[in-house]
Amino acid sequence: MPQDTTPPEVITVVLKGYPRLSETFIAQELLALEKRGHRLHLVSLRHPTDTSRHPIHDEIKAPVTYLPEYLHDEPGRVITAWKKVRKLKGYAKAFATWRRDLARDKSRNRIRRFGQAMVLASEMPEGCRHIYAHFLHTPASVARYAAMMTGLPWSCSAHAKDIYTSPDWELSEKLNDLEWLVTCTSFNVSHLKGLETQSSKVELLYHGLDLSRFSVPAEKQHVLDGSDGNAPVNILSVGRAVTKKGYDDLLNALSILPDDLSWTFTHIGGGPLLKDLKLQADDLGISNKIDWQGAKPQETVLDALRGSDIFVLASRIADDGDRDGLPNVLMEAQSQKAAVVSTKVSAIPELIDSGETGLLVPERDPEALSAALEALIRDPQKRTDFANRGDAKLREQFDAQTWIERLSVKFPKGIVR
């Protein structure tokens, strides 16, 4: 009997960068797909910049190809790719599409996207039957051009910044070209459906949380009430120091807490605004109560969540439209029974029922945020109630295993043989 030499079907996954500490939701999805028999090949537009990685990254078996981050860094590779792909049947269509896009977006980034797409098309993994991009901006552009060149179908997972900082014309045209798109909030679904000109391709698919990786905490009874100077209430936030996270609003909120309250604040995360935030804390006179820990791997974050009393995220919509979708770290905080305070931005109210499973305040409102923090600092029983109800809702409605099945069936069944 002749041996089957047909290569296994491969899903080529286009990522902005890999691995990234801030994108555990992507790593969670990749590992879950592999466990369901899909064979993946990861393609990253950027080399990693984080100095550490999460344990989950070591469990993912997929090989990784790094495209030229800047075309001038690898001119020989780009030229070799062009010589190969210009002979493909779909190259003319891809080139014409890119020229039309470039006329509306005259940027170096647009040029880079097409060069990266040529390299991707020329070095497409053997057995690839589908291209799948995470993020609807740059990664989806590279996936789209490469799909046109090769004739392969492509799809996308959209999140937040990629949707709200991209022009409508580009989103609409990508939605016309792709096979399907999943996005992680009902808020995003409504926005994208309004841009569709064909039959519906957009579907809600929460990232959820892989609860098998987050042990059920022992019964956590909040007891501190901020009245004892030797036993401060521990306030924690985890997130990159970028505009949409609202850390300047949070520092202002902390600075106006009543003097009789005993609290500490811990921040975990890197980001370009850290230096400015530290200076702001100095000016506000609260630096002695703040521990800036920088970026940390997930196991360290989990330890911090378990030891926290309140988790706060002051998300807001940045001036350029960038915003959070449904931050996974809020789910992680609930899984460890921290009481959560956040803002009414994007899909955060889809997770947190204000007054039932946490507290939500308007964005860019330090006074309201401070009042919410004060209320929870002074009332440990309310923190306990919010933590228990938040954890229960999380486990009932946001279990990633439920949602990943809906994604898995969309792909060609690339079982490793």
Under 8 Å between Cβ of 320 and 289? no
At 6 the pLDDT is 55
State the CATH architecture for 215-397.
3-Layer(aba) Sandwich (3.40)
pLDDT of residue 21: 82
Pairwise CA distance, residues 350 & 348, whole Å? 5
Predicted local confidence at residue 417, as pLDDT: 30
pLDDT value of residue 414: 45
Mean pLDDT estimate for the chain: 93
Whether the per-residue pLDDT at 412 is higher than 50: the answer is yes
Residues 81-111 have pLDDT tens digits of: 999 999 999 999 999 999 999 999 999 999 9
pLDDT for residue 286: 98
- Specify the pLDDT at position 251: 98
pLDDT of residue 8: 65
> Where does the pLDDT of residue 144 fall: very low under 50, low under 70, confident under 90, or very high at 90 and above?
very high
Instruction: Of 125-139, 209-223, 252-266, 312-326, give the lowest mean pLDDT range.
Output: 209-223
pLDDT value for 340: 98
On the question of a common fold for 10-208+399-408 and 215-397, the answer reads yes
pTM, two decimals, is 0.77
pLDDT value at residue 215: 75
Give me the CATH topology for the region 10-208+399-408. Rossmann fold (3.40.50)
Asked whether residue 218 carries a pLDDT value surpassing 90, the answer given is no
Q: Domain map of the chain by residue range? A: 10-208+399-408, 215-397
Per-residue pLDDT at 3: 52
Residues 247-258: tens digit of each pLDDT: 999 999 999 999
Average pLDDT over residues 5-33: 87
